[in-house]
Amino acid sequence: MLLLSMSSYANDKKPLKESTVFNKTFSWQAQAGISLQHTTSIIEGIEQDNLGNYLNISILFDFYYKGFFIQSDHRRADTHNLGAELGYQLIVEDDWELDIINKSYIGGFNPEDVIEIADENIPILEGLKSRGRADGIGIRYSRYFDNSIFSFDIAALAPLSAADGWVMDAFYSHIVPYRNWDIYLNVGLTYYSDDVMDYYVGIDSSEVSALREEFVAHHAVRTQFEVFAQHPISKSWTFNAGLSQSYYLGDLSDSPIVDTENATQIMLGVLYVF
């Protein structure tokens, strides 16, 4: 599977490439990356050998202009697949910040595409409707420490997403410098409301089959533990490696289309800075 994503590498939104035209109110940075990824899914029928290994090519782009920004959190593994965040800085202080943001919180899937790529019948997914991405708009509070950052989002999905409901997302990242390595130790906690989970793993009356009973999902919590490392290869090239493990708490396992409540992501790649 070949993915093309728009993302970026900036957390502090400090100017990257200054433009004298805008008197240091405009900054940008462009990067390109390629990585091999191994990803498992909680959805039954999405086998690791079929969809779990793929090549990810990314065009990474940072942009900042008078408080408006495009960025992704380079400390977090799944942002490479979910894409860029759009936002506006409401309040900026030395050690904390408050932003309006628009971002994707869950990546969707199309059962027909899954079956086509697998090149085999997957009865549990046949006749199932597509699940789109969970895009939401909300408020983010970020607190900066010497070697760490803590952020907290609260976002509503509708009307930006096919899914309804709301999400709360807390994330803590601590950097450990070791020789020429930057090692990020991350912990995340995400709450999904009833409407969000019912959209993704619930089964409505039109999707009922011999293998799928009608099912109404309730709220769930995802815990994440990550290790992400970067090492400069040259002035322009950087090596990246990451391991992310997620655990879902709730009634997901009662859904006919959920195979496991655990998901793993492993990534190895390189990044070129223009």
| pLDDT tens-digit series, residues 55-107 | 888 887 888 998 999 987 666 766 666 778 899 999 999 999 999 999 989 88
Output the pLDDT for position 62.
83
Q: Which neighbouring-strand residues pair with 38?
A: 53, 266
Task: Read off φ and ψ for residue 178, nearest 5 degrees.
Answer: -140, 105
- Give the chain's mean pLDDT: 84
The pLDDT score that the predictor gives to residue 113 is 84
- For residue 132, CA distances in Å to 24, 108, 139, 156, 262 come to 38, 4, 22, 15, 21
Query: What's the total number of domains in the chain?
Result: 1
Q: How much of the chain, in percent, has pLDDT values that exceed 90?
A: 53
Token readout for 153 is 């989002």
Give the pLDDT of residue 79.
62
Identify which has the larger pLDDT, 149 or 48.
149
Which CATH number does the domain housing residue 104 bear? 2.40.160.40
Q: What is the mean pLDDT of residues 133-153?
A: 94
The DSSP secondary-structure symbol of 201 reads: H
Q: Quick check: 168 pLDDT over 90?
A: yes
Separation CA 35–CA 148 (nearest Å): 26
Determine the pLDDT at residue 81.
65
CB atoms within 10 A of CB 177: 9
Q: How much is the average pLDDT of 239-258? A: 92
141: domain range? 2-273
Residue range 21-41, pLDDT digits in tens? 333 588 888 888 888 888 888
Give the strand pairing for 26-39 and 53-65: antiparallel
Question: What is the structure's pLDDT at 9?
Answer: 33
- The pLDDT value recorded for residue 117 is 76
Res 80: pLDDT = 60
b/e string for 183-217 if b means 16 or more Cβ within 10 A? ebbbebebbbbbbbbbbbbbbeeebeeeebeebeb
Least confident of 134-148, 152-166, 203-217, 229-243: 152-166
- Give the global pTM: 0.84
Q: Which residue has the higher pLDDT, 216 or 38?
A: 216
Lowest mean pLDDT among 46-60, 179-193, 199-213: 46-60
Question: What is the model's pLDDT at position 50?
Answer: 47
Which has the higher per-residue pLDDT, 227 or 11?
227
